[in-house]
Chains A and B, each alone.
Chain A
Amino acid sequence: MGKRVGMEVSIAAAEAVKQANVDVISAYPITPQTHVVEHLSELVANGELDAEFFCVESEHSALSVCVGSEATGARSFTCTSSQGLALMSEITYIASALRLPIVMIIANRALSAPISIWNDHSDVMSIRDCGWIQFFAENGQDVYDHVFIAYRLAEDRNVLLPAIINMDGFTLSHVIEPIEFIEQEKIDRFLPPYQPVHRLHPDRPVSMGGIALPPIFTETKKAHEVALQGSMPKILETWKAFGDMTGRYYQPVETYKAEDAETIMVIMGSFGETASAAVDLMREEGRSVGLAKIRLWRPFPFEAFKQATLHAKQLVVIDRAISIGGPGGPVASEVKAALYGEPIRPVVYNFVAGLGGRDVSPSDFIKMVDKAEIEIEEGNREGYEIYGVRE
């Protein structure tokens, strides 16, 4: 068993990137991502990590550098937040369509305006359809572990897609947690050097990023869609291999006391631990409440989600982003789409909570479950509201 160390999650994430033996780091600083790349910069400057660190002039360039370096076969890393991700968004679509297995951590933060440096999921939801594999971390250990999982998976010849690890800004990035470190030799066995299928090399020239005319563009999108959907078995296989190495087994949808629950809360990210505490409090009162945590956002785990939730009477989906003018939060939208084909399905009640860093405590989760159960009892089957907003 590896060493257990109390460490700020951002620093642990940077240490994981070092242990993953990356060749290139390219980043532009933005709160709350800064500690990750500051620490990586130190590791490179001190000679503890043999990598190129590119201090670029924008996030657009940060990911563009990674596209170039990854295209030559160099294992590349970047990290951003909020406005930085928005500026980078153009390149996110290019990195995935070129099938370049870059790994990016996003320290999730609200998008302006008004300016907020604090957490919600609006940044990553703006690039929901960018064609990357997308994980949500519940705690610091998840972030650390998923750096290795993401690289091994992304670089698999049957996958070849970039991967995002979502880490809630401040709520995770800036807290000190116990992290169990994995011995380097184990990581080296788990994560062999990257062997690209196609790369930019003078001995065997290829062209990347060409134009596709209307007769072939649709075929390229189909190939990308099949690659992302088809990565699911590899994701499960990679988590299994990681679990066999560390004892920490991950699932696309993880549940807590949900097996027999009539009401299941559905969340993503660091809401998980707080909502688990709320489940315990409600269970003590004899209430039939459980929790489903979506760890894998893309490809969306439709089957696993249905398996975890179909038996419930109602789902209380708590989104950390708002889809203004849409049918509710983005997670609730997906959940409703996942269940639509089922003849008997739970009622979905949707809250948007925790925007721009507002705390959501166990008692808030209990209040949301209370409200949803009453509303559904009274026949409201289309419930959607922003939680805790002052009238």
Chain B
Amino acid sequence: MTKPDSEWKWKELPEGTVMLEPGNADQYRTGDWKTLKPVLNKELCIHCGLCYIFCPDSSYNLDAEGYFIVNLFYCKGCGICAKECPTGAITMVVEEEEK
């Protein structure tokens, strides 16, 4: 949807709550579910991509320097990436309140 769910009035909804814009789930911030966030230590990273492969939410993307970087808008903080990382380059840390 083009605006957050909480801003829709009932009269504005299309008949049957049909979604007229396919693929709008990418606007859904699942990132605010988490209490722990993954933090990468680039000195230990060997670019193996296991975090990218195992992430159940496809939150990791390859950046221009060859590192896999988590997108915190989607990351739910499950910690699978940290668990699977063979060099211990990813640690889960408590997410601070956003200012």
Contacts and interface: CB of A to CB of B under 8 A. Distances in A.
B19 interface: yes
A205 B16 CA distance: 15
Contacts of A220: 10, 13, 17
B8 A198 contact: no
Nearest to B22: A205
B26 interface: no
Interface in A214-261: 215-216, 219-220, 222-223, 226-227
A226 B13 CA distance: 12
Interface string B6-29: 101111011111111010100000
Most chain A CB inside 10 Å of its own CB: which residue of B10, B13, B20, B24:
B10
A98 interface: yes
Contacts of A197: 15
A219 B9 contact: yes
Given A215-B5, A216-B6, A207 B18 contact: yes
A216 B22 contact: no
Nearest to A221: B10
A222 B10 contact: yes
A156 to B, nearest CB: 12
Nearest to A197: B15
A165 interface: no
Could you say which of B8, B14, B15, B16 has the most chain A C-beta atoms within 10 Å of its C-beta?
A: B16
B18 A160 contact: no
A213 interface: yes
A27 to B, nearest CB: 23
A223 B11 contact: yes
Interface residues of A, number: 22
A223 B20 CA distance: 17
Interface in A167-211: 197-198, 205-208, 210
Interface in A326-349: none
B10 A219 contact: yes
B15 A99 contact: yes
Given A223-B11, A223-B13, A210 B19 contact: yes
A159 to B, nearest CB: 10
Interface in B1-52: 4-6, 8-11, 13-20, 22, 24
A216 B5 contact: yes
A197 B14 CA distance: 9
Nearest to A218: B10
A212 B14 contact: no
A208 B11 contact: no
B10 A226 contact: yes
Contacts of A213: 5
Q: Which 8 interchain pairs have the tightest Cβ spacing?
A: A99-B16, A207-B19, A215-B6, A216-B5, A219-B10, A222-B10, A215-B5, A98-B16
29 contacts: A97-B17, A98-B17, A100-B16, A160-B16, A197-B15, A198-B15, A198-B16, A198-B20, A205-B22, A206-B18, A206-B19, A206-B22, A207-B22, A207-B24, A208-B16, A208-B18, A210-B19, A212-B5, A212-B17, A213-B5, A215-B4, A216-B5, A216-B13, A219-B8, A219-B9, A220-B13, A223-B17, A226-B10, A227-B15
Given A99-B15, A216-B6, A219-B10, 20 more contacts: A98-B18, A99-B16, A100-B16, A160-B16, A198-B14, A198-B20, A205-B22, A206-B19, A206-B20, A206-B22, A207-B19, A207-B22, A212-B17, A213-B5, A215-B4, A216-B13, A219-B8, A223-B11, A226-B10, A227-B15
Interface of A: 97-100, 160, 197-198, 205-208, 210, 212-213, 215-216, 219-220, 222-223, 226-227
